[in-house]
Amino acid sequence: MSAKTERLYYHDSYLLNFDAEVVDRTEFNGKPAVALTRSAFYPTSGGQPFDVGTLNAVPVLDVAVEGDVVLHVTETPIEAETVQGRVNWMRRFDHMRHHSGQHILTRAFIEVADAETIGFHLSENSVTIDLNRGDLTPAKIDAAEDLANQIVSENRPVWSWFPEPDELANLPLRKISEKVTGAVRVVDIGGFDLTACGGTHVAHTAEIGLIKVLRADKKADTTRIEFRCGDRALADYREKNNLLNDLAAQFTTGYANLPDVLGKLRDENKDLSRALKAAREQLMAYEVETLWNHAYSEGRTPTIIQQVFEDRPSNELQQLASQLTTNYRGVVVLLGLAGEKSHLVFARSEDVNLDVVPLLKQALSQLGSERGGGRPNLAQGGGVPATREQIEAVLSEIEF
Q: In whole angstroms, how close is the CB of 16 to Zn ion at the nearest point?
A: 19
Q: Which is nearer to Zn ion, 177 or 241 (CB)?
A: 177
Measured from the CB atom, the residue of 22 and 122 that comes closer to Zn ion is: 122
Least separation in angstroms between residue 315's CB and Zn ion is 60
Is the C-alpha dihedral spanning 262, 266, 267, 273 positive or negative? positive
Q: Which is nearer to Zn ion, 85 or 199 (CB)?
A: 199
CB of 199 to Zn ion, least distance (A): 4
**Which positions lie near Zn ion, rule CB under 5 A?**
99, 197, 199
Nearest to 193 by CA among 132, 109, 113: 109
Identify the H or E element spanning 316. Answer: helix 314-327
The residue among 99 and 348 lying less far from Zn ion, judged by its C-beta, is 99
Cis ω for the linkage preceding 165 (within 30 of 0): no
Look up residue 18 and give its amino acid. F
What's the closest the beta carbon of residue 155 comes to Zn ion, in angstroms?
Answer: 18
Cα dist from 330 to 85, 284, 289, 301, whole Å: 91, 20, 15, 7
Least Å distance between CB 201 and Zn ion?
A: 6
Report the distance separating Cα 63 and Cα 52, nearest Å.
8
Q: How far apart are CA 288 and CA 125, in angstroms?
A: 57
E strand or H helix at 232: helix 230-250
| Closer Cβ to Zn ion, 160 or 377, answer by number | 160
Least CB distance to Zn ion at residue 184 (A): 13
- Pick 180 or 283: Cβ nearer Zn ion: 180
Number of residue whose CB is nearest Zn ion: 197
